[in-house]
Structure 1
Amino acid sequence: MKHSRSVASFFSLLPGAGHMYLGLTRQGIQLMLLFFSDLFISTSFSLEFLGVFLPIIWFYSIFDVRTKSLYEGTLPNNNLPIFSDIDSIDDIFKNKPAEKYIAYILILMGFLSLLNNIVIPILGRYYDYQILLYVKHFIISLILIAIGVILLKGKKITIRRGDELCKRDE
């Protein structure tokens, strides 16, 4: 089915809506979930640095819809690449890699929320607030770098299937 590129581009201004117009409901919902979750978390927990992902998600949505609107055949309604391990909502809560990443994200958000909303304001009464902000940004940067290195390094697992050995990154 041929879709109007201009209408799809107009709907893509709201992340996910353009995908839904093209019949990609799953991808549209996932983009909306990413965008509005990031917006909610960054404003509710005063974690302003998460707002950097908003334009990334928004531009991805726009350019992806513009590319897919040129396709004349039926588009596959697959998951977005970031959700490729998840087939259904049940998969999030089973032993899948997505569960590990969700746990890391929740722990990181809890720690940063405590640091930003409780520790810094209390210490701000006793120390110069500007110095505390530098220390906070330094700690957040170190944590994000450490998590990135840990995720890139990964663990090598050896799995024996029948007579062959399989190595896998986890």
Structure 2
Amino acid sequence: MNRKNGFWTFCFAFIPGGGQMYQGYMKRGLSLMSMFMFVIFLSAFLGMGLLSLMLPVIWAYSFFDTFNIHSQTPEQAAQNPDDYLIDVSGLMGENGRRLLSRRHKLIGWGLVVLGVYALYANFVRPALWNAVYAYDLTWLQWLLDSLSTLVVAVLLVVLGVYLLKGGPARQNPDEDYTAFKGGEEQ
């Protein structure tokens, strides 16, 4: 690994993930950029400004990680290969892969929800805003302003209750098992 220019390393370090990419760690840089942009998207989409408090943490990690990579010896660089910071396949695990391979309906419902949201955002919502302005419907204005946050909040509560209940009841395979006690000779 050849050493990169210190001035350009410093300049690129200010861009989350940019310094890693300049150093040749493309996967790590892409991970950091994606995390940074995802936090911006979520905080804007959900209207939760508190979520943006994660941005300085991601930025600082990216900034200092750039200089840690820059100061590595060739032996350390060989031991620290480029990889994504979050391994999605590892998060899903074998059960997640099996679920997706058997349950295509899950993907289908996700696409339906995204399609319905796109239709709402691009066609229904503008028409409703026209009604708000034409008829001075303040209650509809309030509903339109907070609908996305309301939907996400309800989904989070439903998911939390589902997880607290433990999901669907599973039958223990050991309950249906009777041990052989041996036959008695008569």
User: What TM-score, normalized by structure 2, do the two folds share?
Assistant: 0.50
Query: Residue 8 of structure 1 contacts residue 66 of structure 1 at CA under 8 Å; is this kept in 2?
Result: no
Question: Are 2:68 and 1:63 aligned?
Answer: no
| Aligned counterpart for 2:167 among listed residues 132, 156, 162 | 156
Q: CA deviation at 1:139?
A: 2.1
Structure number having the greater helix percentage: 2
Aligned partner of 1:26 in structure 2 is: 27
Structure 1: tracts of 5 or more residues without a match: 43-47, 164-170
Q: Deviations over 1:28-65 (max 9, x none)?
A: 234445666888x89xxxxx536869956753542122
Q: CA deviation at 1:143?
A: 0.7
CA distance 1:23–1:148, shift in 2 (3 Å): farther
In structure 2, how many angstroms separate the alpha carbons of the residues matched to 1:115 and 1:129? 19
Aligned partner of 1:77 in structure 2 is: 82
Query: Residue 35 of structure 1 contacts residue 54 of structure 1 at CA under 8 Å; is this kept in 2?
Result: no
Q: Deviations over 1:119-163 (max 9, x none)?
A: 432322443265433212332221111222244444636789x97
In structure 1, how many angstroms separate the alpha carbons of the residues matched to 2:50 and 2:33? 13
C-alpha RMSD of the superposition: 4.9
In structure 2, how many angstroms separate the alpha carbons of the residues matched to 1:60 and 1:148? 25
User: What TM-score, normalized by structure 1, do the two folds share?
Assistant: 0.53
In structure 2, how many angstroms separate the alpha carbons of the residues matched to 1:3 and 1:158? 57
| Aligned counterpart for 1:147 among listed residues 148, 152, 155 | 155
CA distance 1:50–1:145, shift in 2 (3 Å): closer
In structure 2, how many angstroms separate the alpha carbons of the residues matched to 1:147 and 1:108? 16
Structure number having the greater strand percentage: 1
Aligned partner of 1:45 in structure 2 is: none
Alignment-mate amino acid for residue 143 of structure 1 = V
